[in-house]
Structure 1
Amino acid sequence: MPAAPEYITGKDLETGNPIKIEIVKGVIQSVNPLTQAQDDLPFIAPGLVDLQVNGYGGVDFNTFPITTLDFEKTVRLLAAEGVTSFFPTVITNSPQATGDLLSNISQACQSNSLIDQAVGGIHLEGPFISKDDGARGAHDLAHVCAPDWELFLKWQEKAEGKIKIITLSPEWDSAPAFITKCVENDVIVSIGHTSATPAQIDTAVKAGARMSTHLGNAAHLMLPRHPNYIWEQLAQDQLWASAIADGFHLPDSFLKVLFRAKPDNSVLVSDCTQFAGLMAGKHKTHIGGEVVLTREGRLHLASQPELLAGSAQSLLWCVNHVISKKLLPPADTWKKASTMPLSLLSGKPETSFHIGQPANLVQFVQEVNLITVRKTYIAGQSISYKEPLR
């Protein structure tokens, strides 16, 4: 007996027209106009896709072990922010610790269907990055090393093939051959935490690098006027660029330039840490340091307030920032955090409400410049943090 269809209604964010989406077994079957008028109909749009999540709500994807319950808690908290798919991000660490974390994430996906549906893949950020201060960011210098394909294969085995994005610097001699291997194995190479020359960046792009990680951040405080690696990546038409649009990491002028230089191949990411979703105040890190989350949402080192300690905001916050600053219209902004990341991942244009795709959807209301999520669906299932963890 065929499964009974379910229906979700709302105003299409792109057109404003009321629509009814038919869902069978968690997959979109059809999208039709809604002929019967309904009062107070929310907007409906594809779920947000965050390509860079270090943690959320006190859960850190770089601290071993991560329990399945904590992982599911993170999925549900992110769903409350409209995120239906995200990439747990593992940063530079020792080979053993990196393997343990990757295995932990993979096992959590295998043991819990909701986690498996929400995790689009793993983003490995490092350790094949620049050793330079500034460009290296907060990554541990002791574990930074040259791209090593055999080492990566060991990690990919631990991850059960779930590493889909790797951030590296093309300044290493072994980078071009490594990038070629990644492309052959369907792993997206993203340039980041780099001191690479324009020639090295160009070589990386020709080898198949497709993305820039949080462009404009993890950079030296002082750069040559030109050429430099930020201009070079902006000028590379083949490179997608991700940006942290939380209002603290980048000035709005940079975001405006980025969106104009790459209107069809730029995306928003949160790069959020475990402190996202927590109350304002002082918090301790796992390495013993203290950070401060201000009421305005800025996360900084307690000892050096002028230095950021990472991002403490969701992708929805970034969407609302871009909208409130009128850098892009609401529908275009939402695309940069939903269908455009999917286009980057698949290598082909992705549209809203794609027939045959999982019903990852968000219903929300918009008042002035603020989007507020009402309900989030992952594979057709309504997700709420208030539901008991399973």
Structure 2
Amino acid sequence: MTSRQAAVAALAPALVLAACGPRGALPVATAQSIAERYQWVPRSGASSEGVDYAALATRRGAARTIPYYSGSIKSPLDGKTHDYEIAGSDPKRTTGVTKIPYLPIVLVIKFSNGTVLDPRKPGCGDTVSVADRFFEGPNFVATPLDSNGVNVGRVQLTDGFQRAEFWRILKSRNYHTVFAAVRTPLVLHVDAPKDAGTVKGVCAGNDHSVGVIGLGAYYAMTKRIVTKHATPMEVPVLLTYNVFEDDSSGCCVAGFHSAFGRPSGTQVFATAAYSDAGLFRSEIEDVAIGTHELGELLNDPFVGNATPAWGHIGQVSGCQSDLEVGDPLTGTEFVHVYHGYAYHPQELAFFSWFFRTHPTGTGGLYSFKGTLKGVEGKCA
């Protein structure tokens, strides 16, 4: 088994097995109070299904997908050479802008008790719709951004992150990886499974409730939507409001990114919940999960990039071996003000942190705001 095969074997059960086997009991049956809901632990996931990695590496049929480049790196941690694919263009060779087409999708979800969680409406305590906050916010609109004391330009958050993590090896400061919308947001009305449920949110009224859907059912639903409305040449980004998924580990999966094989190529997509502040004991609010998933999608678009084992940090209690740049810092946010609104994107780990190679990022550090110094998260 190659390092890539091992990584895929470790990742796939997170979502694919959840779709095929039994899931944990929905917490909504017992967690009716805010105090109980506050104990839920938000986390993110990733999965791949039927991806032809050999074809991607050699640019054969499965390579009909979003722009990406391939490379390899030897890590001093395990002495192994690890292959990878990253969305965009190689920062060591590229001097311009690479556009990643994306399809914005707004999911209006109706539950069997009549509750409708609608991103077209404002979140708790806000006057602007969740959809506008997200799709017209700093994940998709260029704003001034700095990382570890370095001005990385007027950029989208994830573009700024990729510039920052490869700052010391950029061939040109004109290097960018930009999400470009293929249309205005597509609004889809969907019914939650009958065994899904809701609990009270932090604001009064059903419009601000918290919805919980089984992970397997939600994954199957999103895959159907993606297959129907998108092509492998674009990234569907599915937005929900206060809707989370549970599995055998309990609640809550707040978002995930995935890749699956299609006859026409390799499809990648992401889904994320825009969540009200104060839902969880962890600092997860507004665009935090969206930033997490988009950053991971760019760094590991086909969910097959293997790394030396790391863990005991962020949302990872054990050890895992994948290039998931959000997982080591789940719950670590920073404030980014845009048009007078304080957004809370999640900090992301740099590429070199996973391999413990010489830092290529801003400030000689290993994450976007310097939380990671290079010694954290080691596994024997």
Question: TM over 0.5: same fold?
Answer: no
Structure of greater relative contact order (alpha carbons < 8 Å, 6+ residues apart): 2
TM-score, normalised via structure 1 length:
0.24
Structure 1 or 2: larger strand share? 2
